[in-house]
Amino acid sequence: MIKKGCLLGVFLCLLIAFPAHAQVGNLSSASAVLYEPQSGRVLYEKDPDTKRPMASTTKLMTALVAAEHVSPDRLVSVPAAALYTEGSSMGLQAGDVLTMRDLLSGMLLSSGNDAANAAALITAGSLPTFAELMNRKAASLGMTNSVFVTPSGLDEGEHGSTARDMALLGAAALRSPLVASLCAQKRDTITVSGRTITLTNHNRLLTLYEPAIGLKTGFTKKSGRCLVSAAQQNGVTLVIATLNGGDYWNDHMALYEYGFSKTESVTPSVPALVDMAVVGGTQSTVSLATPVPEAVTILKGEVLTTTVMLPNFLWAPLEQGERVGTVTYYRNGTVVCENPITAEQAVAERPPLTFGIKWRRQLKELLTALME
């Protein structure tokens, strides 16, 4: 039963706990973080805050920054300076013309260092200036232990990050529709100055593990095998970052099996809302409505709580759809979402009574009382 007042009640969404059998076991990676981005919780960590080189997983940041500054449909020309680099390449030539979207595809799928340098130069004019943009973006994402020097991820200076920070970067990449969609592709065919180039994604997890949806691999002799990946299953999205690994495919699959065994996606129950009294209106009550909340990722066995906040009564006039209160959903005391409570109908203000009408009504009420 709901008690009226500012805080009207607490509803419990009872969740059934299932035992989790999956275990992580021994990982080949020196650092690892299993991250649930909706709640911001780390579900597993191994040496998460040691700064290490992260190789071409850097390109997630390069792609994010470039995508924020240059339209994906813009035709760009490859600067000759972008080609003076070692390592993997998508096969660009000086003066090549292609869209920024296709340049990012070559960077993320084929891990082209030429593409990363080209995107940086086109975006910022110089690699040091682009590095400033990368570090500014890192700070905005809460990557407190990261330094970006090169757009390609080649080792230089203090270039490095942590598994915790790279998990945050992976979650940010998922929030970018362009970057997320490119990282999820196994192959892509693009046109560069009239040449057709087929790109193959280096991320074999997309083939090995069905729930995988991206993101980026990396390797140098100094960094070892690095991988930032994401997977979705039964409405749950998880992100994993591993640095300095060996068998990183199996590391990630083991971590996902563990993470998905611990989590589930649930839709909180909508509380029952009773009609509310309306003062000064052409009708005495009004029906209330609130939308069904979005699904929430929780740990199996957790309990969601719901609070409803409404006044004791409402004043006319009311518009249809006017917000009159709030439903707040909590997970372990932390707010996961808030939905408005609205009036389902409009309620007009009652016209003021004239003196004569007021007097006759009061007289009628008096005579009625005397006769009872």
Question: What is the length of the chain?
Answer: 372
DSSP H stretches of helix in the chain: 59-69, 100-108, 113-124, 127-140, 163-175, 177-183, 205-208, 248-262, 355-371
* Integer Cα distance of 84 and 243 in angstroms: 27
Whether residue 149 contacts residue 113, with contact meaning beta carbons closer than 8 Å, is answered with no
* Integer Cα distance of 111 and 104 in angstroms: 9
Is the four-CA dihedral 187, 192, 196, 197 of positive or negative sign? negative
Whether residue 114 contacts residue 90, with contact meaning beta carbons closer than 8 Å, is answered with yes
Please spell the DSSP secondary structure of 146-180, one letter per residue. -B---SS----TT-BB-HHHHHHHHHHHHHSHHHH
Catalytic residue numbers? 56, 59, 111
* Integer Cα distance of 98 and 119 in angstroms: 11
Please enumerate in sequence order all residues whose Cβ is within 8 A of that of 35, keeping only pairs 6 or more positions apart, or say none: 41, 42, 43, 167, 168, 170, 171, 238, 239, 240, 241
251: tokens are: 């590391």
Task: Name the CA dihedral angle for 104, 109, 113, 118, rounded to a multiple of 10 degrees.
Answer: -10
Whether residue 161 contacts residue 27, with contact meaning beta carbons closer than 8 Å, is answered with no
Long-range contacts of 197-202 (CB under 8 A, 24+ apart): 197/90, 197/91, 197/106, 199/90, 199/105, 199/106, 199/109, 199/110, 200/109, 200/110, 201/108, 201/109, 201/110, 202/109, 202/110, 202/111
Degrees, nearest 5: CA angle 234-273-341: 75
* Integer Cα distance of 126 and 132 in angstroms: 10
